[in-house]
Structure 1
């Protein structure tokens, strides 16, 4: 289990902030969290020298005002059942600075929002999804913090194992009544027809192979009394993200959890344009990306590639 002791919540003073703060409160109660840092990055503070000379306190006052604003939102929505250290951090700069702040604070989990109807874009969310060097929870608008059902896409790698074990641990901490659905997306390889088999016949062969791989994979897992169901999805459009969201639309999970290798997710979920598709196109459920600590790109490399 990779503990979530140090949480960082990215706020932007929009209507999405209360949702993120409520999620932080919920996670404090059901993880090993000890500290929560609420962060806001102020853009557009490039004030001419002449203006700053005439109004020397203008930046300090802007930061103070912004900090008071996020404190109000936190006071109204952050009500965990246990005590944790709470800090507020307001900085001038651009949203990608969140990565640097998270690195300096040795953050275990970043919580950010994904907008659909509210003002703002998802560019920062995509960058963080690709480049964050710690666990990342992306919460869409109007999501409610509950954990009755989890969807965990797996490819039988160690990163999938991490995601499933994290999910089991979280399910246990939240009462042990949640259901975990493990999804494996399999495909029919190019050239199958040279075997003399039809597409349908070879699809069944691949599905059988996937089930055998799951049985072998599952022997390494301790379900700890949690109900776990395996589901197999045939990929027919070479788009893993859409296969996951198709199942999500059917089973309606409270959160999707994937294991990521460094800055890229298992089963190529976060390679190239798939990152944007996963976050932008159909995202209706919270998405938690979990990573092994200490197996990520360095901060300098990460910032260079943003």
Structure 2
């Protein structure tokens, strides 16, 4: 495991200065990474996708609990050093690691050496939701996930209809999976310490697609419904379709409701009409 001294030593060796642009906040507390792996509920045959492994704190905790770990890293020096770090600290499991130098927002199955079944990651705050949604869309083999994100984002991802923080991330994640909050993480387990706390979000993909409706069409409706949260659906969706009243009537959705009151199933009914 990497503690504070090891993290700083590796960073100094690589001349790494954590950047906000890449969302680099390195975990240096072994108990925190153990907590994340325990919450991920991995099986020994799981192929784990880790996004942004950084210096390897979480990677080292994941390797004994999975069949393989595919680490997707955008920063070349970090990607190059990670296999060496694992070989030095956990040679027994080093062969399980595969490092992919790539932007996670552009990853496809062709970039990966195996089909991942789970994602476990400390995600950069600025791209957390887009990364999760992209990977769920691109990698149908992904069945479950446990991600650490900004606390406010975690709340939004797991929010249910009727909640003030329920919004676009909540609905789009619900299209793919059932999501819930799985814990909170303080600032002091990171280097450098971020300005906000973090939260864990656990999700499991639905066994079957909720609908065969076109996902892009569905997401356009969701985006329109939340573009101006205070507007009713009738007003918010008018730009999306001039026949909004007829569509909502056929879908059995009250036009006076607001987007935050609709479940993903309600949005699906609108898209299907």
TM-score strictly above 0.5? no
Identify the structure with bigger relative contact order (alpha carbons < 8 Å, sequence gap 6+): 1
Larger radius of gyration: 1
Q: Which one has a larger percent strand, Structure 1 or Structure 2?
A: 1
Q: Which one has a larger percent helix, Structure 1 or Structure 2?
A: 2
Structure 1 length-normalised TM: 0.34
Structure 2 length-normalised TM: 0.38
